[in-house]
């Protein structure tokens, strides 16, 4: 069982390393960092977001969100407007939306290339979610060895 877990852990690391390599190569084309692409991704999916929504979606603190929002505004990738209750609302600029679309197309091509049979992928995700939930429970517990 321990060997299987070590193999699982190694494969997850390898997959993540390759994904990061691909992401970095693609982001370099736009002069962006991964964290900045997350902002563009969430705005592309949601059309508009508030500062608070960014913090929640990215599981990040205000300082991180503030720095990246300022940078993306400066680069002309997002636009800030004020809603009826004087709250800042952000949306993608045309340039930001083009980057969102190109990123989506690249991701689709990558997914199509690594496509796995639908039944197999469903089982894979069910198992992966179960492993993730169990590991999260262990992570939330104290250091008592008999806790799991």
32 by Cβ neighbours in 10 Å (0-12 / 13-18 / 19+) ranks as buried
What torsion do the CA atoms of 28, 31, 35, 39 make, to the nearest 10 degrees? -120
Query: How far is 102 from 107, CA to CA, in rounded Å?
Result: 9
Assess whether pLDDT exceeds 90 at residue 114.
no
pLDDT band (50, 70, 90) for residue 5? confident
C-alpha torsion 41→46→52→57, nearest 10 = -50
pLDDT at residue number 146: 59
Q: Give the span between the Cα atoms of 34 and 28, in whole angstroms.
A: 10
pLDDT-based confidence at 78, cuts 50/70/90? very high
73-99 average pLDDT score: 92
CA–CA separation, 52 vs 89, rounded Å?
10
Instruction: State pTM to two decimals.
Output: 0.71
pLDDT tops 70 at residue 145: no
Candidates 1.10.10.10, 2.60.40.1930, 3.20.20.140, 3.40.50.1820; CATH matching 22-115: 1.10.10.10
């Amino acid at each position: 069982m321990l060997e299987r877990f070590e193999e699982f852990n190694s494969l997850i690391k390898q997959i993540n390393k390759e994904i990061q390599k691909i992401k970095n190569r693609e982001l370099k084309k736009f002069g962006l960092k991964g964290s900045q692409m997350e902002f563009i991704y969430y705005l592309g999916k949601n059309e508009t977001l508030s500062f608070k929504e960014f913090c929640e979606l990215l599981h990040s603190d205000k300082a991180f969100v503030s720095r990246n929002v300022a940078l993306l505004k400066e680069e002309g990738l997002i636009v800030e407007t004020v809603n009826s209750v004087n709250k800042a609302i952000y949306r993608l600029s045309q340039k930001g939306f083009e980057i969102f679309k190109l990123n989506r197309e690249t991701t689709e091509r990558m997914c199509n290339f690594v496509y796995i049979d639908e039944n197999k992928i469903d089982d894979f995700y069910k198992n992966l979610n179960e492993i993730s939930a169990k590991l999260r429970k262990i992570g939330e517990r104290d250091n008592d060895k008999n806790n799991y």
